[in-house]
């Protein structure tokens, strides 16, 4: 992972354990944890809006959202202008999410990936650069 990044992270109850594991041992980056802080049942939009807002306002360079399927957090985050939240369940999906779509929020489905897979997805997402060029023209057409 690139040194000096600011990352906002959030999860619901289904993503709580994976969030905690991913946070353990993170060095060289600034992480703002928006919760949840316990495995008790919570509503995923509450955390998705906090993370998306932090990225949208420039308080974080990127975001990570984790829930059971990652669909709910991705849908919620993508309601924010300037957010391009990508649901990534394997590294091969994370790579074009960054290089072609310039995704700025990574959404991980905790119930469908192992810890090792999640770590690899995070590593790819935060090391791949946006290619720009023809992809920039397309990305510019996303916002309404």
R_g (Cα) of the chain, nearest Å: 14
CA atoms within 13 A on the CB side of 79: 12
Q: Which residues are catalytic?
A: 67, 100
CA atoms of 57 and 125, how far apart (whole Å): 21
**Helices 115-125 and 91-99, axial angle in degrees (round to 10):** 20
Contact criterion met (CB below 8 Å) for 18 and 11? yes
Q: Which residue has the tokens 């990305």?
A: 139
């Amino acid at each position: 992972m690139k040194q000096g990044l600011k990352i906002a992270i959030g999860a619901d109850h289904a993503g709580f354990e994976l969030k905690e594991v991913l946070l353990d041992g993170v060095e060289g980056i600034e992480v703002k944890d928006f919760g949840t802080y316990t495995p008790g049942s919570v509503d995923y939009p509450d955390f998705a809006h906090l993370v998306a807002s932090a990225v949208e306002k420039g308080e974080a360079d990127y975001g990570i959202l984790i829930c059971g399927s990652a669909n709910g957090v991705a849908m919620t985050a993508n309601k924010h202008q300037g957010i391009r939240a990508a649901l990534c369940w394997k590294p091969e999906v994370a790579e074009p999410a960054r290089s072609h779509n310039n995704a700025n929020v990574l959404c991980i489905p905790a119930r469908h990936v192992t810890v090792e897979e999640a770590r690899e997805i995070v590593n790819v997402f935060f090391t791949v650069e946006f290619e720009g060029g023809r992809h920039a023209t397309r990305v510019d057409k996303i916002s309404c």
